[in-house]
Amino acid sequence: MGIIGLLIFTAIFATALEPHDPIRANVLERHIPPFWFEDGSTKYLMGTDALGRDVLSRVIGGARITLLVVAASVTTGVVIGTGLGLVTGYYGGLTDDVVMRIVDAWGILPQLLVIIIIILTFGQGLFILIGVLAMLSWTGAVRLVRAETLSLRSRDYVLLAKVSGASDTRIIFRHILPGVMNMVIVTATLGTGTIILTEASLSFLGAGIPPPEPSWGKMVGDERQYVGISWWTSFFPGVAIAMVVMSGNFLGDWIRDHYDPTLRQL
């Protein structure tokens, strides 16, 4: 939670925290090592990259991009998936068959390849990236919410609501949705790591955030050819990716254990 909180804080106040302009290049100061090396400088605490840009400033700026992409794509995907899961689980029938066949068809596709094709077709951009990453989040939410809705719709309090004349919309949002919210939260939290890694992979392949905006995955990809002479340009953004992904997974596991009554200790 501390690392996730640090990410959010850094992303919100990135402009104030950046010691230098993250996209300003100065080739005369390229490949300066971190300050604790003999040739390092306290002007650039984490050194500079191949274009002379401050690595620390780019890592901080990359946090803002990462948080924006992850928050928007996960929220969009989970909202769509939750809505479809509620509808298909409550009504069943043809609606359920059609939606679940679409989910099954999407699940067997090579998703990363499909996403790259979409980006190459429509062009790189922040909103395009958020849209394609949201496509990774909705299928898991549909399956989990649908399964829980199938169980909840036969509970006594739902049946009593039907007898009392409550509309389907009221039953879904007032009586069933609160019962699946814990699962939605866990799905969103655990899906954060997957979204971050996918965004980093796309940026590494040159299909993610367009230049010159900093992105952790793009920093690793752009500087991989200089690992032998300036390892810090790829190391620090790689560590940032690993820490955030692991923190998101740990937080998701904790939330799942907290909300699952079968896992609680007496």
Are 158 and 171 a contacting pair, CB within 8 Å?
yes
Query: Per-residue pLDDT for 79 more than 60?
Result: yes
Of 69-73, 121-125, 177-181, give the lowest mean pLDDT range.
Answer: 121-125
Confidence grade of residue 266 (pLDDT, cut at 50, 70, 90): very low
* CATH superfamily of the 37-260 domain: MetI-like (1.10.3720.10)
Query: Per-residue pLDDT for 99 more than 60?
Result: yes
Query: Per-residue pLDDT for 60 more than 50?
Result: yes
Q: What is the DSSP string of 93-129?
A: HHHHHHHHHHHHHHHTS-HHHHHHHHHHHH---HHHH
When pLDDT is averaged across residues 27-31 and rounded to a whole number, the result is 89
Residues sharing a CB contact under 8 Å with residue 175, sequence separation 6 or more, in sequence order: 152, 157, 158, 161, 166
Rounded to the nearest 5°, which phi and psi values hold at 208?
A: -105, -125
Angle between helices 126-152 and 177-204 (to 10 degrees): 150
Per-residue confidence (pLDDT) for residue 193, from 0 to 100: 79
Question: CA of 85: how far to CAs of 78, 118, 167, 216, in Å?
Answer: 10, 25, 18, 33
Confidence grade of residue 58 (pLDDT, cut at 50, 70, 90): very high
When pLDDT is averaged across residues 58-82 and rounded to a whole number, the result is 88
Per-residue confidence (pLDDT) for residue 183, from 0 to 100: 81
Alpha helix segments (H runs only) across the chain: 2-12, 14-17, 55-91, 93-107, 111-122, 126-152, 156-163, 168-170, 177-204, 216-222, 232-259
Query: Per-residue pLDDT for 264 more than 60?
Result: no
**Span 104-159, pLDDT tens digits:** 888 888 888 888 888 888 888 888 888 888 887 788 889 889 988 988 888 888 88
Give the rounded percent of residues in the chain with a pLDDT score beyond 70. Answer: 97
**Span 183-201, pLDDT tens digits:** 888 888 878 878 888 888 8
Q: 66 exposed, middle or buried (CB, 10 Å; 0-12, 13-18, 19+)? A: buried
CA separation for the pair 178, 181 (Å, rounded): 5
**Span 2-26, pLDDT tens digits:** 988 888 899 889 888 999 999 888 8
Per-residue confidence (pLDDT) for residue 187, from 0 to 100: 81
Query: Per-residue pLDDT for 263 more than 70?
Result: no
When pLDDT is averaged across residues 32-37 and rounded to a whole number, the result is 91
Give the rounded percent of residues in the chain with a pLDDT score beyond 90. Answer: 14
Per-residue confidence (pLDDT) for residue 261, from 0 to 100: 58
Per-residue confidence (pLDDT) for residue 235, from 0 to 100: 92
Confidence grade of residue 59 (pLDDT, cut at 50, 70, 90): very high
Range with the largest mean pLDDT of 63-67, 85-89, 183-187, 252-256: 85-89
